[in-house]
Amino acid sequence: MSNKWPHLDYLGWRETCSALHLYLQIAGKYRLAHTPWLNHSWNATFYVTPNGLTSSPIPDGPVIEILFDLRDHMVIGASGDGRKASFALGPTTVAAFHASFVRLVSELGGTPTFNGQPNEVPDPVPFNEDHRERPYDRDAVQRFHHASMAVDRVFKTFRTSFLGKSSPVHLFWGALDLAVTRFSGKRAPLHPGGIPALPDDVTQEAYDREVSSAGFWPGGGGIDYPAFYAYAYPTPNGFRGASIRPDA
């Protein structure tokens, strides 16, 4: 696929996107449970690679890395002692994916313990109790991967122009958004919280300093199309009505 900006029809792959979102939450929650805390939940995210999305090394057991290979449609695990394990991505249930993932971590010598409840989704069902069949559109997943690589490249260039504290370019599995965030260093007012299925203390820690964030969603959460976003917290006067420069 040579097009750097592939067409993403969210409504056409909505069910696959929802399934992939939950699968990433399972692996992300495993990483969160076994990685030392880093401010603003940066220890929980995924990173874009030429093959898909990686957890980076997780200090569990012999050290484990999880790769969602979105080219060959596999979940691949590797451990620091040379072990490898994998299983295919395809039509399945969240409960079946959860069981396969737990087995993969065990085969690698890890401890597959983590919170089993989805976050930031309406009407969350525990992973091991979600037996609804989910489709898997391989072409749409590959387009999502190619779009993610293009966005990652742009965001990394954008990040270089700021000399203060900035996040990596990373994918948050809560809302399934690729984001980069800048910080002023000044304390922010207490965030009111209220994000569905996310503890308020997590949100309040994430926004305990003034931030300016840019990101990309493939769609979802009431937005039926892919979208870039930018916001600041707290919102400066005039921010919502400001023009974006340079012109697109």
109 Cβ neighbours under 8 A, 6+ residues apart:
61, 62, 64, 79, 81, 83
SS3 category, 92: strand
Helix or strand run (H / E) with residue 12: helix 10-34
Residue 1 has pLDDT above 50, yes or no: no
pTM: 0.95
Q: Pairing mode, if any, of strands 209-217 and 177-187?
A: antiparallel
Percent of the chain with pLDDT over 70: 98
d(CA 40, CA 10): 28
Residue 246 has pLDDT above 90, yes or no: no
Domain borders along the chain are 10-134, 138-233
pLDDT band at 245 (very low <50, low <70, confident <90, very high): confident
pLDDT band at 3 (very low <50, low <70, confident <90, very high): low
Residue-averaged pLDDT of the chain? 96
d(CA 67, CA 63): 14
